[in-house]
Amino acid sequence: MRPTVHDIAERAGVSLATVDRVLNDRPGVRGVTRAKVEAAIVELGYVRDVAAANLAKSRVYPLVFILPEGDNPFMRGLEDEVRRAGAHSLVERTQLSVVTVPAFDGRALAREIDSAIERAVAGIAAVAVDAPEVLAAIGRAREAGIPFVTLVSDLANSGRDHFIGVDNIAAGRTAGSLMGRFLGQRPGPVAVLAGSMRVRDHGERLEGFLAAMSAMPVSRAILPVLEGQDDPELSFQLIAECLAEVRDLAGIYSLGAGNRGLVRALAAGTGRNLCVIAHEVTDETRAALEGGLVDAVLNQDAGHEVRSAIRVLRAKADGLPVIAAQERIRLEIFIKDNLPSEPGMDDTPGPAGN
């Protein structure tokens, strides 16, 4: 049997309360006493039973996810995953909530962060916007001792505890590499559709894409980036225009969330046989992949990201270490043949273990 607090209390010749004090390093213990207890802990190889601890604390963990509002399908998918995780969360003493803020609005995000701090939540996960207000708000969360993770888009210098998302430069490189191979010797320029270059992850993807394309044996022109603001209508117009003007277009890389407009334009421009690579599996991209309109979709698993965020926030809240290998979000490549079946319908209701 594993050693318990009783064993270490006995071994150190102190009471349970004292053991508990040094375990949770709370004040009110003399240095000598503390040392004795710590020695006993090491000698017995004690590891705290987190389940029992949480039971005793009967602590609940209110966690808040702050996501951009609007009809960005990936973000709505993230939101769905949070709610789905919420269904299982009672068992894990975790209380999930979602709030949405206008996209790309640093001030609004900062306000929401402060509000969460006010409510004394146990952890915050947010899609970061690159703005000074946000940086400051994250700093305040840190000061309040509230764990903070960035989701999907990072803010590395903010002091956040963890970033949960993919390496976007590598994602861009992967897209470029696939595009180059799929096109082979075929001539013609490539277009890039982005949301906005003011968003960090979009910029990084472009950077990686350009690097990989220029490393290809066949050199190929990349047209000036089209910024569709992740808006379906604007994206549609930009792509439709491009298709009309550039008759020998060979491929399109859609690195943002403007896929609905992209797909509409592709469907209209019949028989062009382009190589198209997009990001995030959504209803639109899934259908386009299955229909042959899109050749590959790069994806980050929203469900994994949400569960990872929860695990990391809870670990930080409990002062536990994080299993890095488990929390690394992979960049998934999907083609028609390895597309997983529709999500959502495959979940089992009821309480669950983990």
Q: In sequence order, what are the beta bridge partners of 151?
A: 164
Q: Does 336 bind its own copies (CB under 8 A)?
A: yes
Distance of CA 42 to the CA centre of its chain: 37
- Residue 241, both tokens: 């225009």
* Residue from the set 24, 39, 120, 340 that interacts with DNA by CB under 7 A: 24
Per CB under 8 A, which of residues 77..106 are in contact with its own copies? 84, 88, 90-91, 93
CB 301 within 8 A of CB 283: no
Decide which of its own copies, DNA, none touches 212; Cβ closer than 5 to 8 Å per partner kind.
its own copies
Q: Does 52 bind DNA (CB under 7 A)?
A: yes
Decide which of DNA, its own copies, none touches 322; Cβ closer than 5 to 8 Å per partner kind.
its own copies
Give the count of residues interacting with its own copies (CB under 8 A): 62
- Name the residue among 68, 85, 196, 204 with its Cα closest to residue 126: 68
- The nearest distance, CB 251 to its own copies, in angstroms, is 13
CB 197 within 8 A of CB 203: yes
- The nearest distance, CB 177 to its own copies, in angstroms, is 5
* Residue from the set 28, 32, 185, 247 that interacts with its own copies by CB under 8 A: 185
Alpha helix positions (H), 215-258: 232-245
Binding region for DNA (CB under 7 A) out of 8-16, 104-112, 157-165, 290-298: 8-16
Between CA 200 and CA 153 the distance in angstroms is 7
50 or 221: whose CB is closer to DNA?
50
Between CA 297 and CA 286 the distance in angstroms is 8
Q: Mask: binding to its own copies, 8-27, rule CB under 8 A, as x and -?
A: --------------------
Q: Mask: binding to DNA, 196-225, rule CB under 7 A, as x and -?
A: ------------------------------
8-state DSSP, 24: T
Decide which of DNA, its own copies, none touches 79; Cβ closer than 5 to 8 Å per partner kind.
none
Q: Whats the size of the chain, residue-wise?
A: 354
Q: Mask: binding to DNA, 86-115, rule CB under 7 A, as x and -?
A: ------------------------------
- With both helix axes pointing from N to C terminus, report the angle between 5-12 and 31-44 in degrees, rounded to the nearest 10: 130
Q: Does 164 bind DNA (CB under 7 A)?
A: no
- Name the residue among 225, 251, 261 with its Cα closest to residue 73: 261
Residue type, 273: N
The dihedral of CA 64, 67, 69, 74: what is its sign?
A: negative
Query: Which residue, chain included where needed, has tokens 């309360």?
Result: 17
- The nearest distance, CB 209 to DNA, in angstroms, is 49
Binding region for its own copies (CB under 8 A) out of 13-21, 36-44, 251-259, 345-353: 345-353
